[in-house]
Amino acid sequence: MDIPGAAPGTATVPWLVLGVVLGVLLVLLAGLTAALLLRRRLPKPPAAAPEAGAPPASYREDDLPGFLECPPGSGAPTAVPQAGWAALATTAAAAEVPAPSPAPPRRRDTVVVLTAMAVTALLLVGAAAAVAATSRPDGRRGHPDRAEPAPARDGAAARLTFGGVVLEPRAVGVTATYPVVEVSTDGDQARAHVEFPTFNCLTGGAPADPVAAGCTRSRTEYADLTSPDLVVDRHGDGLRITGRFPTDVRPNGSAPVPTGRAYELTITVTPADGRSGRGWRPAEGVLELGPGRAATVDEPGVSVLRSGS
């Protein structure tokens, strides 16, 4: 039986405790049964032995004296039978008959049974404690301090700066943005932070340099997203990031105010040198926002990638 949420191997602990309890109960039941059987089988006291020297009942009276005094046919009245002969044996002989041995005390048997029950119960509890002490959390035997180390997680991180992409088309011109992305993952959980600095431009697309193109600076929108809404997958030696990012504005450093807008982003990033390794390395990538696409800025140190493998 497994308990939901529990750690691996802890499910075996309830079964172990149940086995110990059942074992103790069985020992107690066996001891009680043995005590009852011993009480019923106690030896009965032997029957009293007959008196030494006493003749059998059929020979205690003799009719010889009466026969001599009144023989048959003499016509003399029949003599009254005399009392039987006195026993020749002395009373000391009767005293020599051994007295029946007293029944063994019942308390001693009960003490022996209870002692055996207690010793067996202690042995069972000790064995259970030894098994629990030498079991690892995953249910296998061994010292818990010597458990195998957890495998390293597939962590990675990236900081990326992209060129211009159209955020929203306008009746006249467009609202362009130049996203800055920070993303990290430990293999299980991921988080991303995106900044959308915006410019209103009287152009048909996002210019490479909004200031030189005469665009007007507008508010910066921010977005934060975490797992499971944010998905970060390994893409060869790089990463693939997807998610729908709801934005907010933070005027004058105040609390975030939602804009009600959300942007579907797909970002791919790979090492710029094409080689795998650890530590921060130059990176390059592509951001897709609706039909628009923007590549990372080609400047040293602006876009970097750190991979855990």
Task: With a cut of 50, say whether residue 157 has pLDDT above it.
Answer: yes
- CA separation for the pair 265, 244 (Å, rounded): 6
Contacts of residue 165, Cβ cutoff 8 Å, sequence gap at least 6:
176, 177, 178, 179, 206, 287, 289, 292, 293, 294
Q: DSSP class of residue 208?
A: S
The DSSP bridge pattern shows strands 190-201 and 216-226 to be: antiparallel
pLDDT tens readout for residues 25-44 = 676 777 777 766 666 665 55
Q: What residues pair up with 126 in beta bridges, in sequence order? A: none
Q: Check if the beta carbon of residue 245 is closer than 8 Å to that of residue 262.
A: yes
- CA separation for the pair 240, 269 (Å, rounded): 7
Q: Comparing 4-13, 102-111, 113-122, 255-264, which segment has the lowest mean pLDDT?
A: 4-13
Buried b (16+ CB within 10 A) or exposed e, 97-106: eeeeeeeeee
In the chain, where are the structural domains located? 7-41+102-145, 156-307
Task: With a cut of 90, say whether residue 292 has pLDDT above it.
Answer: yes
pTM: 0.51
pLDDT tens readout for residues 85-101 = 555 444 444 445 555 55
The pLDDT value given to residue 148 = 45
